[in-house]
């Protein structure tokens, strides 16, 4: 067990690191952030930060030397950087889990290998392979970069009219994955936490509404039958156990009209769809991460309120004052000064207390 007073190193300086550091501080831990940008959301709330590129091995070594344990808050931290620090200090979740999640093909191959259902997909290495796969899978289909894509970046929706060469160029990656488009009834996600002793908890499935491929609203819990919720939680637990996860993992799923659950992707870190847990649950996903990696008992995931979490994307952040007109709205701003369209600037959680 790593007792309070120890220092947790966080690779990445975004809002997930910020909220992790805030939860860690309440439990008496210190945090040091490794970020490649100045004044990052996480560094603003941490006592210590290492500001360097992820390719800077000496800086990574200094960082590892100054912390007791390391976690990550951003999926696209270069695997070599994570492996470099892992040789010096424990990294949780295991770096191998991050590497699976960083590669959409490895991720889907892995999920299938452990008996988890996904949409049909094909690996694509050039426009000719794409043409073949388009005939194979039919339409609509989604072409995605295998690496470094998130929030819909590097994704192209294909119809029978789409020109393969054109789609390949628009995707912009070196290797792609073509996926059958899922005509889902709704998108849900489950966040599972697991400790080193195998103890686990799952938050109830939540319903996620995306706009332009970016999460816009999370409704917690999801408005789905109890039996479906149980199946979704069982899938998340199964994935966490197979991965030998220590930490938290978000499992994004499509729920089809016929009640089938297909896993879209996994993220071995706190997740945007779990932000509601800060204000509506006895233990937030961030505190649960700290407890899991430090070897503390996991907290209760019970929720005392239902919640609707709305992301403040880009210029939406200007509405923060109106949000506060609802006394049961909890405002979270990430300290980002530069507004860009679609950029996650903050979120508001509207609570619906159980009476």
| Residues in contact with ligand AMP by the rule CB under 6 A | 119, 142, 150, 152, 179, 181-182, 187, 210, 213, 252, 264-265
Least distance to ligand AMP, CB of residue 184, Å: 6
3-state secondary structure of 228: helix
**Cβ-count burial of 216 within 10 angstroms (0-12 exposed, 13-18 middle, 19+ buried)?**
middle
Cβ count near 183 (within 10 Å): 9
- The CB-of-207 to ligand AMP minimum distance in angstroms stands at 12
Q: How far is the CB of 144 from ligand AMP (least distance, A)?
A: 6
Of the candidates 95, 180, 99, the residue with the CA atom closest to the CA atom of residue 144: 180
Quote the CA–CA distance of 201 and 310 in Å, as a whole number. Answer: 24
Least separation in angstroms between CB 157 and ligand AMP: 8
Question: Shortest gap between Cβ of 112 and ligand AMP (angstroms)?
Answer: 15
Measuring CA to CA, which residue among 137, 138, 132, 173 is closest to residue 156? Answer: 173
- CA proximity to 217, closest of 151, 307, 299, 284: 307
3-state secondary structure 205-233: CEEEEEECCEEEEEEECCCCCHHHHHHHH
Q: Which is nearer to ligand AMP, 73 or 179 (CB)?
A: 179
Of 209 and 340, the one with the shorter C-beta distance to ligand AMP is 209
Token representation of residue 300: 């209760």
H/E stretch holding 230:
helix 226-242
Angle, vertex CA 46, rays to CA 302 and CA 87, nearest 5: 90
184 phi, psi to nearest 5 deg: -80, 150
Query: How many C-beta atoms lie closer than 10 Å to residue 63's C-beta?
Result: 26
When the beta carbons of 8 and 182 are compared against ligand AMP, the nearer one is 182
Closest to ligand AMP by CB, 265 vs 287, is: 265
Q: With respect to ligand AMP, which residue has the nearer C-beta, 35 or 178?
A: 178
Give the shortest CB-2-to-ligand AMP separation in angstroms: 32
**Counts of helices then strands in the chain (DSSP H, E):** 11, 17
Q: How far apart are CA 95 and CA 89, in angstroms?
A: 12
Q: CB-wise, 233 or 252, nearer to ligand AMP? A: 252
CB of 211 to ligand AMP, least distance (A): 9
Q: Which is nearer to ligand AMP, 50 or 145 (CB)?
A: 145
User: Of the two residues 82 and 142, which places its CB atom closer to ligand AMP in the complex?
Assistant: 142
The length of the chain in residues reads 355
Q: How far is the CB of 297 from ligand AMP (least distance, A)?
A: 32
């Amino acid at each position: 067990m790593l007792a309070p007073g120890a220092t947790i190193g966080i690779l990445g300086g975004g809002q997930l690191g910020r909220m992790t550091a805030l939860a860690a501080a309440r439990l008496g831990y210190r945090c040091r952030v490794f970020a490649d940008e100045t004044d990052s959301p996480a560094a603003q709330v941490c006592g210590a930060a290492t500001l360097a590129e992820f390719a800077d091995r000496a800086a990574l070594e200094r960082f590892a030397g100054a912390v007791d344990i390391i976690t990550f808050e951003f999926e696209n931290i270069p695997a070599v950087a994570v492996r470099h620090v892992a040789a010096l200090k424990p990294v949780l979740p295991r770096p191998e889990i991050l590497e699976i999640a960083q590669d959409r093909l490895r991720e889907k191959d892995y999920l299938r290998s452990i008996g988890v259902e996904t949409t049909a997909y094909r690996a694509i290495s050039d426009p000719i392979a794409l043409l073949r796969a388009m005939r194979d899978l039919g339409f609509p289909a989604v072409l995605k970069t295998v690496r470094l894509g998130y929030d819909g970046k590097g994704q192209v929706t294909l119809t029978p009219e789409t020109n393969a060469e054109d789609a390949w160029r628009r995707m912009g990656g070196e290797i792609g994955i073509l996926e059958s488009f899922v005509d889902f009834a709704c998108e849900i996600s489950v966040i599972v936490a697991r400790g080193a002793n195998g103890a686990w908890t799952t938050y109830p499935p939540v319903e996620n509404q995306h706009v332009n491929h970016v999460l816009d609203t999370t409704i917690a819990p999801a408005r789905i039958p109890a039996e479906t919720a149980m199946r979704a939680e069982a899938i998340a637990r199964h994935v966490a156990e197979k991965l030998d996860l220590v930490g938290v993992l978000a499992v994004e799923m499509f729920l089809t009209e016929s009640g089938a659950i297909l896993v879209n992707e996994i993220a071995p870190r706190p997740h945007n769809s779990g932000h509601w847990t800060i204000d509506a649950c006895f233990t937030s996903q961030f505190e649960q991460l700290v407890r899991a990696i430090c070897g503390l008992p996991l907290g209760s995931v019970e929720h005392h309120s239902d919640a609707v979490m709305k992301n403040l994307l880009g210029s939406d952040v200007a509405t923060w004052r109106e949000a506060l007109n609802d006394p049961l709205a909890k405002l979270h701003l990430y300290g980002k000064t530069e507004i860009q369209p679609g950029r996650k600037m903050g979120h508001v959680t509207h609570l619906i207390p159980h009476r």
